[in-house]
């Protein structure tokens, strides 16, 4: 039974011809729920989409998703579902089919003095009585025998008594028609006989047949029930498919070259003889396998291992296995075992985890392969044939990573070219800036370099600036002697035991200052 409510009109953003998802109530109206429509109720609806597109029909309301199904009875689209634009309104209404005419007869009497009984035919329970146009209540008359109506109080001479008898409507037990094909639906004792035809049919209970369902116009194609607990399918008058209660046996075509036999050989296959593709379950081992060209290509064994190209997880046998423990083995013979491709862009290719924590990656950046931990890495430069430090994304990282550790050192290093630091080739002594032509105090950045003294230049060695092992060389690039002021706490000339406050560097002379500590140094070279 459909449900009718008042002033229920809502928007919908749904597009197409499918189930409607309702939006909000239109101004001045209620939502379906607020109007009293409950989950699962069937309602008559009208959809208006624009000025000319409409649809009338029946739908089932779902409160949880605020949806409404659509069964069309009339529409502007040749009585088919209209395709919604996304800006339609939906409201509940009655349609013409819901308003059914009622058949009735009216008998009019003019009463005599104190007349109470009026003879008329009616169906008990389907009668109304009017006195001088006013409807009488059930207490004012008796109508229980179907042939007369008796007033509780006698009428006055000339009173008008109207008796309205309503006809009851029933569905006939048998409906017949006289068309030339003589097709009809007959109801006898609750059993349908004859042919049932139409575009769709719905049954609320069981449908019982004696033996078979036959395809219209193809009498040798049918579904049969030939015996107890047995269902078969026949085409061309020959059984093609059978299901019985014995071990749920299913057999198709009764051949192993193209068929199914799950009870015997546990086999699903296609035509082609020994080269057929097939799916095979082995009852004795419990394995499940796929075959092509007569050879096993894939196996799922009893341990849950997924195996391709071989039958075991053995290392050294060509093939791939994904074990139920999570272990993956890839074995190839005379070819690359694993190819990984990131099709359209660069970035991470493989990521390594400890538990749920990422610990490192392998990826591609600027055509270069990189390998990183969580904070440092190496990139193999494709264009310059270099190995450089990089970040976790493969970007270059300058001066942030160490090579080796004081407690974990490399043994030997072999190079055919130069060895450089930030100042250049470690086999050379680079100059720290240009020649000094005025007073200059050494800084930590001068370590490992040489300082040139030009005309007017002089050098001062500061205290508490350098560390043990630091060394700086000085070259007097003038035609006269130059003084080096030793402001450090203790300074020696190599081979002498006296503390010097200054030394003289000879013309075109070279000396090296070696720092024993931050406050002690030794000067060696052309000094006095």
**Dist CA 376 CA 400 (whole Å):** 9
Please choose, from the candidates 68, 50, 67, the residue with its C-alpha nearest in 3D space to the C-alpha of residue 59: 68
Question: pTM of the full predicted structure?
Answer: 0.39
Give the 3-state secondary structure of 236-274.
Answer: CCEEEEEEECCCCCEEECCCCCCEEECCCCCEEECCCHH
Domain boundaries, the chain: 2-98, 102-196, 347-390, 429-525
Q: How does residue 234 score in pLDDT terms, banded at 50, 70 and 90?
A: confident
Task: Give the pLDDT confidence score for residue 95 in this predicted structure.
Answer: 76
**Dist CA 339 CA 331 (whole Å):** 12
Phi, psi of 181 (to 5 degrees): -80, -10
Mean pLDDT score of the chain: 84
Query: In this structure, are strands 278-281 and 288-292 parallel, antiparallel, or unpaired?
Result: antiparallel
CB burial of 321-354 (b: ≥16 within 10 Å; e: otherwise) equals bbeeeeeebebeeeeeeeeeeeeeeeebeeeeee
Rounded to an integer, the average pLDDT of 422-432 is 76
Q: Which CATH class is domain 429-525?
A: mainly beta
Q: How does residue 183 score in pLDDT terms, banded at 50, 70 and 90?
A: very low
Q: What is the pLDDT of residues 33-88, one digit of tens each?
A: 999 999 999 899 999 999 889 999 989 999 998 999 998 989 999 999 999 999 99
Is 486:456 a contact under the CB 8 Å cutoff? Answer: no
For residue 174, pLDDT over 50 is answered with: no
Q: What is the pLDDT of residues 1-28, one digit of tens each?
A: 678 899 999 999 999 999 999 999 999 9
Six token digits for residue 101: 């005419």
Question: Does 111 or 251 have the greater pLDDT score?
Answer: 111
User: Cα–Cα–Cα angle for 13, 16, 21, nearest 5°?
Assistant: 40
Rounded to an integer, the average pLDDT of 300-322 is 88
Rounded to an integer, the average pLDDT of 500-507 is 96
List the single range of 13-17, 72-76, 288-292, 497-501 with lowest mean pLDDT: 288-292
Count of CB atoms situated within 10 Å of the CB of 87: 12
**Dist CA 68 CA 90 (whole Å):** 10
**Dist CA 269 CA 253 (whole Å):** 11
Phi, psi of 381 (to 5 degrees): -70, 115
């Amino acid at each position: 039974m459909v449900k009718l409510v008042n002033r229920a009109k809502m928007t919908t953003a749904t597009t197409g011809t499918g189930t409607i998802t309702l939006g909000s109530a239109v101004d001045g109206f209620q939502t379906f729920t607020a109007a009293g429509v409950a989950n699962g109720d069937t309602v008559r609806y009208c959809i208006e989409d624009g000025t000319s597109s409409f649809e009338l029909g029946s739908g089932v309301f779902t409160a949880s998703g605020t949806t409404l199904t659509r069964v069309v009875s009339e529409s502007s689209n040749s009585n088919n579902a209209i395709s919604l634009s996304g800006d339609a309104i939906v409201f509940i209404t009655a349609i013409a089919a819901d308003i059914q005419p009622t058949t009735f007869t009216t008998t009019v009497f003019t009463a005599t003095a104190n007349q109470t009984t009026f003879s008329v035919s009616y169906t008990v329970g389907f009668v109304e009585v009017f006195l001088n146009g006013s409807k009488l209540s059930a207490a004012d008359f008796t109508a229980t025998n179907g042939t007369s109506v008796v007033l509780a109080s006698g009428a006055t001479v000339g009173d008008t008594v109207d008796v309205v008898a309503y006809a009851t409507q029933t569905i006939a037990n048998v409906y017949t028609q006289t068309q030339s094909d003589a097709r009809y639906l007959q109801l006898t004792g609750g059993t349908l006989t004859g042919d049932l035809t139409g575009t769709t049919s719905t049954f609320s209970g069981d449908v019982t047949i004696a033996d078979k369902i036959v395809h219209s116009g193809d009498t040798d194609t049918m579904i049969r029930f030939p015996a107890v607990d047995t269902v078969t399918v026949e085409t061309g008058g020959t059984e093609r498919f059978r299901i019985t209660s014995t071990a749920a046996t299913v057999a198709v075509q009764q051949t192993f070259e193209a068929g199914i036999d799950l009870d015997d050989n546990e086999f699903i296959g296609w035509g082609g003889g020994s080269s057929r593709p097939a799916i095979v379950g082995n009852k004795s081992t419990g394995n499940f396998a796929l075959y092509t060209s007569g050879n096993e290509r894939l196996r799922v064994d009893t341990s849950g291992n997924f195996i391709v190209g071989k039958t075991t997880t053995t290392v050294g046998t060509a093939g791939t296995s994904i074990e139920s423990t999570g272990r993956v083995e890839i074995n190839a013979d005379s070819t690359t075992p694993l190819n990984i491709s990131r099709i359209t862009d660069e970035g991470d290719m493989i990521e390594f985890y400890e538990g749920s924590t990422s610990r490192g990656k392998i990826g591609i950046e600027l055509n270069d392969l990189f390998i990183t931990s969580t904070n440092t890495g190496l990139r193999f430069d494709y264009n310059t044939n270099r190995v450089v430090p990089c970040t976790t994304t493969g970007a270059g990282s300058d001066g942030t990573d160490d090579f080796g550790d004081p407690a974990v050192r490399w043994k030997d290093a072999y190079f055919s070219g130069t060895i450089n630091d930030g100042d250049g080739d470690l086999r050379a002594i680079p100059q720290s800036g240009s020649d000094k032509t005025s007073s200059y105090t050494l800084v930590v950045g001068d370590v490992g370099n040489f300082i040139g003294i030009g005309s007017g230049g002089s050098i001062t060695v500061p205290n508490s600036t350098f560390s043990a092992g630091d060394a700086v060389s000085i070259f007097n690039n003038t035609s006269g002697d130059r003084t080096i002021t030793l402001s450090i706490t203790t300074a020696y000339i190599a081979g002498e035991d006296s503390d010097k406050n200054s030394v003289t560097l000879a013309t075109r002379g070279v000396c090296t200052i070696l720092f024993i500590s931050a406050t002690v140094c030794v000067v060696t070279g052309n000094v006095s």
